[in-house]
Structure 1
Amino acid sequence: MDRRTVLVPPSDRLSLEVLELLSNKWEPAIILTLLHHEPLRFNELESALPDISANMLTTALASLAEHGLVQRQTISDTPPQVEYELTDSGRQLKPVFSTLSTWGQDHLETPTPTAVVADCDDRLTELYGEWLAATFDVTSVNTTAELRESLVNAPELVVVDIALWDGSMYEFETYCPTTTRRMLLVGDRPDLSLAAWHCDDVLRKPIRKTELVSRAKAQLECIGQSETERDCAGTEAKLSILESIYPQSQLKAEDLTAQFYDE
């Protein structure tokens, strides 16, 4: 677009140039991710934007650097490691995105996030579903087969009692999309195998409505976390549950849990 040919005052024509930059698919997503999580390494940015290719991320970062919005910092020469962060100009876009979000809330229909609630007890899935219905479009399932099928739709959140899953925790990884936030439900005294599950949060049954709802909403706020932040939060959640049951000396001696303390 040649903004000189647009019949609006020059002060407004510049806004068209800004919108042209922000209308690209990945540049605004990168800016928003860095606004919340900078600095990030290349692989952390790539993990936070699951649908982007490495080549596309490289191209988008180069474009943002060319426009003075992102800068690349070398943090290690051996091995070579770099981080990306916003420039002052890039950070000054934060109120622009906030204004757009406010406008969208007022004038656009916001899609309701989806959640899958999975438990062997259909009375509990019905109850949990009612609790979460004010925030999520909830699907309740009571078998492993139903859970596998529901995960195909990549819900924003899955709340699953691990006793329901009849395969290994590693098999669960192949069915649950990486973009889906995972809240595990466990019994009063979960086995140490809990440590091997990849999750974002853990709740011990019985659970209260306020606890489930607040923790579920917190997972929505965490969408877009870097892989490192997400792994750390999941480890802390599992360790908090296990340390309330088992002595720390035992956890440090077990192969499954000793790695938590190393991390």
Structure 2
Amino acid sequence: MSPSDASDSAVLPEYLLDSVSLLSKKWHPAIVRCLADTTGYSFSDIEDRLDGVSAKVLTDALSELQAYEIIERREVSQSPLRVSYTLTERGEELNEVIASLADWGETHLAAPATERVVLVAEDNPRVNEMHTAWLEEEYTVRTASDGEETLRRLDGDVGVVVLDRRMPGPSGDDVLDWIRSQQYDIRVVMATSEDVDLDLLDMGFDDYLTKPIEKQELLSAAADLFERHQYDAQLQEYLALRAKLTLLQVEYSAERLESNDEYRRLRSRLDELEPASDDLDDVDPELFERIPVEIPS
């Protein structure tokens, strides 16, 4: 067998290994992609677009790519000296290969995106449409216009429910009880135009918004509740209970609340759940912006 025949039949021919070696260097593919579809960039242009590359590493990488005739260095002016880097024809061909590799990697190697699903349960068509439009900017949104449809549209894929408290058929209160009875890992924000009442003490919601709801208010609540999925059950219970008691303290005097047995029980439960400071290291401080840091006695 001739040397050329051996090269052709090799499982990993030398030219393939050379190509892999060239592309395996961190900044080489990045530089090629950076220069694609441009009329040329200066050294500082490339440096600005490649976050994290040092001047020395970039200089070495550009020199090596020039040696392979993948990029070309041209003097734009001599005084002051200005140079521009562009892809050669060989470089344009390599860019197509890199783009194909990127597409393949996105299809077969990238971790699947976790779909975040919000169910908007609201019987007012205008409000339902408005809340849906706001949330669709960041989430996959399902909608329901009454209690029966809400129950049909609920499953384990739903992460957050924006639940109208008063709907035809099963009410929001009934739907909330059903969600908790099924032990779904779903966070619920109750939405209502009704006055805040002490009945809330018995409800297992995670957040509570009073209509009319502002766009940023709704988006912040949804973001907070999705973030809570990362926390353990005790911290989630603590945050939900803290939000509930804070809400009631805004509406009722301390004397009125302290005369309520259920309120006192929940206050004791809140004290039991109080996390240590170390347990809050990974909690976004902004999560507490709508919940006072200290709940008064």
Q: From 189, 194, 198, give the equivalent of 2:195.
A: 189
Q: How far 1:241 moved relative to its partner?
A: 1.6
What SS does the aligned partner of 2:251 have? coil
Which of 136, 140, 144 pairs up with 1:137?
A: 140
TM-score by length of 2: 0.49
Matched, 1:125 2:128: yes
Structure 1 or 2, whichever has the larger Rg, is 2
Partner residue in 2 for 1:230: 236
Query: Which runs of 4 or more aligned residues in structure 1 lie more than 6 Å from their structure 2 counterparts after TM superposition?
Result: none
Question: Unaligned 5+ residue runs, structure 1?
Answer: 1-102
- Tell me which of 197, 221, 241 is aligned to 2:247: 241
Taking the aligned partners of 2:226 and 2:264, their CA distance within structure 1 comes to 30
Q: What secondary structure is seen at the aligned counterpart in 1 of 2:190? A: strand
Question: 1:145-198 CA deviation, whole Å, 9 max, x = no partner?
Answer: 0111111344011110222342645344225x4311211113351221112111
SS of 1:123's partner is: helix
**Pair 1:109–1:134, CA change in 2 (3 A):** farther
The amino acid that maps onto 1:181 is R
> In structure 2, the residue corresponding to 1:202 is in which secondary structure?
strand
| Equivalences, count | 160
Taking the aligned partners of 2:245 and 2:211, their CA distance within structure 1 comes to: 16
The 5 Å alignment of 1:88-237 reads 107-164=110-167, 165-166=170-171, 168=174, 170-175=177-182, 177-237=183-243
Q: 1:243 Cα deviation (Å)?
A: 1.3
Q: Secondary structure at the match of 2:163?
A: strand
Distance in 2 (CA, whole Å) between partners of 1:212 and 1:116 is: 13
User: For the residues of structure 2 that align with 1:206 and 1:186, how far apart are their CA atoms?
Assistant: 8
* Structure 2: unaligned runs, 5 residues or longer: 1-104, 270-297
Distance (whole Å) between structure 2 residues aligned to residue 219 and residue 171 of structure 1 = 19
Displacement of 1:109: 4.7
SS in 2 for 1:207: coil
Higher relative contact order (CA 8 A, sep 6+): 1
Identity in percent? 22
